[in-house]
Structure 1
Amino acid sequence: MNQNLKNKIFSFIKKPLIIAVALFVFTLIEIYWAMGSFSNKPSSGCLDCSFFDDAYLMTLFSTVFLSIVFLPFSLIKNSNIKVTLQLLLLILIWFFWNYTIFVDRESSWSTYLFKEEIMYTLKFSFLPILTLSILTIFTLNYILKKL
């Protein structure tokens, strides 16, 4: 393969690869920061599954989904709209995964109401999601502007 073709291929996959790696790392950190206190509790869906297995799969699914969705967002010229959409989507996805972990490892073993599940998930997730979502989006946009 000649050098020119290698450069074209690398430049084509560089942006999606950077987005995917950043999302993977930040999502894994967020899940462990927010829901790490449930890592020693058994999963109600799979008694042999470790917390790392759950976190890894959730991170992998999030990375693929968000990478695909964030690529078209890079075409939006209005940065305020783009950042707002990215933040909202990232916050919703992360909150959903945190809620899933809470239900799987805590509330399914007890008698929580839906409202209580949401409130407890919000209690555990608020600071990690707020901090890391802002950091993630601004890091992604900063890196992608430099490309």
Structure 2
Amino acid sequence: MKSIYKPFFIGFFCAILTIIQAYIAMGEYAKELSSGCIDCSFNEVLIKHAIVLIFIPIVIMQLVSTFIFKKQYFISILIGAFLIFVWLKIINTDIFETRVSSWSSFSNEDTDSFVFKRSFQPISICIIIYIIFILILDKYIKKPQNSLG
């Protein structure tokens, strides 16, 4: 497998992890109406979030880390894990705000606290799976060979 495809595999894998963790953390609100889009289904919103908030930034981050953090492999994995944590928390917060808190009287602190409690375990598991996936993927990706040796 060529290393040029690595960011796309990672992005696709992260999009799948996004959907799974959102169902685990916020799935009980899937049947609730969204204040942002009354006609949008939970699945539709989740797929959009997975593509926009995970797939594109992860691909960009992986391309940049290939050139900036070549020698600091561990740092690029940590940056990726941190970005995934932040993005998944944003996704879960958006789901909670549009489907629950916008219809009632939650303060910003209550929303953040509730979402963090509900999201911490699924997001942590996804980050561990992400790191394992990266390590396995790197084992099977062929490094480009230069003509000098």
In the alignment, residue 117 of structure 1 is paired with which amino acid?
T
Q: 1:72 — aligned with what?
A: 64
TM-score by length of 1: 0.85
Residue of structure 2 equivalent to 1:27:
18
Equivalent residue for 1:88? 82
CA distance in 1, matches of 2:59, 2:5: 12
Tell which has more relative contact order, 1 or 2 (C-alpha 8 A, sep 6+): 2
Partner of 2:94: 100
Of 48, 63, 73 in structure 1, the residue corresponding to residue 55 of structure 2 is 63
* Count of matched residue positions in the alignment of Structure 1 and Structure 2: 138
Distance (whole Å) between structure 1 residues aligned to residue 26 and residue 129 of structure 2: 19
In structure 2, the residue matched to 1:36 is 27
Which structure shows the bigger proportion of residues in helix conformation? 1
> Is the 2:61–2:80 contact (alpha carbons within 8 Å) kept by the matching residues of 1?
no
Give the one of 111, 118, 123 matched to 1:124: 118
RMSD of the alignment, in Å? 1.7
Deviation track 1:99-126 (CA, whole Å, cap 9, x = no partner) reads: 1111000100000011000001011101
Q: Which amino acid aligns with 1:59?
A: A
Unaligned runs of 5+ in 2: 142-149
Q: TM-score, normalised by structure 2?
A: 0.84
Percent identity reads 28
Q: Distance in 2 between matches of 1:136 and 1:19?
A: 8
User: Which residue in the other structure is 2:39 paired with?
Assistant: 48
Residue pair 1:22, 1:140 contacting (<8 A) in 2 also:
no
